[in-house]
Amino acid sequence: MGRATTPAQLAAAMAATPMFQGLGKQKVGGLAEGGRTRTFRRGTYLCHQGDETDEVYFLVSGRIEVSTISPTGARILHATVDRPQFLGELAIFGSIPRTADLLTLEDSEVWHVDGERFVGFVTANATAARQVLAALARQVRASQAFVDDLLFLDLRGRVAKRLLQMGTPSLDELPADGTVIPEVTHADLASLCGGSRENVSRILSDLQRRGVIKRDGHRYVLKKVGALAKMADL
């Protein structure tokens, strides 16, 4: 989606997200018109962990990093978002400070709206309220799945699973052989997998040597998805 996003395109993108699926473009259009779309330059923080909550964001195009700072001062990467979706809604519904930093990794078009307007829209639409509850439940499930992975998968399996997750919206449908995943550094992948950068680098080198993945510039190509799925116990 380019920078000249029309209101109709924005409403369609929002209606296609799991959070508002089933509402329809016309109904979502009312919310879309209540916000504002801006282009943020690469390296811009939309918000910081601990900030007071006042807006909900929607990534229209570009790429955004979601990360936190640990008590020891280390940066922990949670996700890299490169598909249209809402961001920052959890803090709004919980009336809590921001739980993560949101940083643009490239020039990004972002829609934003006052949090109270967003909550008002959701509470006034029963379908939207159910979808939001379902979306929050999925976040809880994803967090639990990560804890389970730490307990039951070795680091190689966690790396394989994360590579697959980066190539598909849901592991219910695995990516095809030859899928190119978004750019990720060894340090960031280590953060996503709960391992050290050195060990993750060794695993990636071994997967390349075996032809399971291939390096293409700054990105990886998933050459043998079946082999990765087996490592990840999928």
Q: Share the mean pLDDT of the chain.
A: 88
Residues of the chain with CATH 1.10.10.10: 153-231
pLDDT band of 140, cuts 50, 70, 90: confident
Q: Which residue has the tokens 């849901």?
A: 170
3-state secondary structure of 29: helix
Query: What letter represents residue 171's amino acid?
Result: L
Q: Which residue has the tokens 């997750």?
A: 165
pLDDT per position as a tens digit, 53-90 = 889 999 999 999 998 887 777 788 888 888 899 998 88
pLDDT per position as a tens digit, 49-60 = 999 888 999 999
Question: 57 in the Ramachandran plot: left (φ > 0), alpha (ψ -120 to 50) or beta?
Answer: beta
* Distance (Å, whole) CA 41 – CA 227: 38
Residues of the chain with CATH 2.60.120.10: 7-148
CATH class of 153-231: mainly alpha
3-state secondary structure of 214: strand
pLDDT per position as a tens digit, 174-214 = 999 999 998 888 988 888 888 888 999 999 999 999 999 99
Distance of CA 189 to the CA centre of its chain: 14
User: Is the full-model pTM beyond 0.75?
Assistant: no
Domain covering 7-148, topology? Jelly Rolls (2.60.120)
Instruction: Starting at the earlier edge strand, list the strands of the sheet with 179-180.
Output: 179-180, 219-222, 213-216
